[in-house]
Structure 1
């Protein structure tokens, strides 16, 4: 998970992930169009995202297509975020049940 957090710490890499979320399977040329970065810098960021398993690469002929891999982000959600959401959902459910009981009385 350390590689994932490190990869997500950079705003350029988050922007790349957002771009892939909008249109998955983009080539380097397509990704560069949306950024104010050189191809070389974008390639370095893509390598870091690939090392963190946040993107996968599929070769189609001589063209490299980049795809978003949401599994590592899902793991972060399950481990760090989801457990906090469960308390909120339980609180809302408890409040709903209490209000319904009061209305029925």
Structure 2
């Protein structure tokens, strides 16, 4: 075997080192950012309207959280005149679901089926 091959590292470890996934997990780690995604899931908002929805936070804090979401690719901002419209970008979440959740869910179901067969 070659040093550094998938067999040496474990089959899934090469995929787990995706920096995009790390940014998404970091973004989703914050309850405030998850709430922002919930708000944007309902409908797109201007930056001002998003700040209003999080009145308990100052504007700077909302914008900092928003930057993390944008870097992770979870939110897309589009300039329309003087306003900036924000929308949910669901593809990174779908990628995380397919790579992590569905894969591990299938393994757990297989394990339960194996235990039931014994």
Q: Look up the match of 1:27.
A: 46
CA contact (8 A) 1:32 1:42 kept: yes
Aligned-pair CA distance for 1:85: 4.0
Q: Look up the match of 1:52.
A: 72
Q: Look up the match of 1:99.
A: none
CA distance in 2, matches of 1:33, 1:63: 14
TM-score by length of 2: 0.69
Q: Indicate the structure whose relative CO is greater, using CA pairs within 8 Å and at least 6 residues apart.
A: 1
RMSD (Å), alpha carbons: 1.8
CA contact (8 A) 1:58 1:66 kept: yes
TM-score by length of 1: 0.77
What is the SS of the residue equivalent to 2:76?
A: strand
Aligned-pair CA distance for 1:29: 1.4
Aligned residues: 90
* Residue pairs, 1:9-24, within 5 angstroms: 9-23=29-43
Deviations 1:15-60 (A, max 9, x none): 110000112x201111122212111110111011000100111110
CA distance in 1, matches of 2:66, 2:80: 17
CA contact (8 A) 1:28 1:39 kept: no
CA distance in 2, matches of 1:62, 1:86: 47
* Residue pairs, 1:60-75, within 5 angstroms: 60-75=80-95
